[in-house]
Amino acid sequence: MSYTQSEYLTVLTHAPADAVKNFVEDVIPYLGEIEVLVNRTGLVMLPYTDTSTGTRFHLGEVLVSEAHVRIAGGTEGYAVCVGRDVQQALAVALFDAALSANILTDSIQDFIAQQQAAQQAADEQLLKQVESTRIEMETF
């Protein structure tokens, strides 16, 4: 399966950080020289829209980790992950650069598919747990 950049970044940033960091170790030797342009934490404003009035406002701040890399050939990768794990953001940015440069595309997309399947299974399990607590008001 082929993923858009938005799709694969969403899956990778929601995947377990250790799995992403471990798999990127296998990809790094194929990337050539890596230049880390940005690797830091910061705060971003979380926008929210009031459902009754449609008014947009900022709900608060969220701590994020940001990484921007350049690999051999000049291809760049970028990622932002919620939390303070700058290594996770760096790993996702390296995957972004590798996919943009068509490096190990099949292996990386297989990894993304596995992570996506695990995330969907977890979501389905959560929905089943929520559904089991549903109360039919007509039965009262």
Q: Write out pLDDT tens, residues 81-104.
A: 999 999 999 999 999 999 999 999
* More confidently predicted of 66 and 131: 66
Quote the pLDDT of residue 139: 60
3-state helix, strand, coil in the chain (%, to 5): 50, 30, 25
Please, what is the average pLDDT of the chain?
Answer: 94
Q: For residue 52, what are its two tokens?
A: 């009754």
Quote the pLDDT of residue 2: 85
Dump strand ranges (E) for the chain: 34-49, 56-71, 76-82
The helix/strand/coil state of 134 is coil
- Domain carrying residue 57: 5-139
For 118-127, b/e burial (b = at least 16 CB within 10 A) is eeeeeeeeee
Number of domains in the chain: 1
Quote the pLDDT of residue 131: 82
Q: What is the percent of the chain where pLDDT is above 70?
A: 99
Quote the pLDDT of residue 35: 97
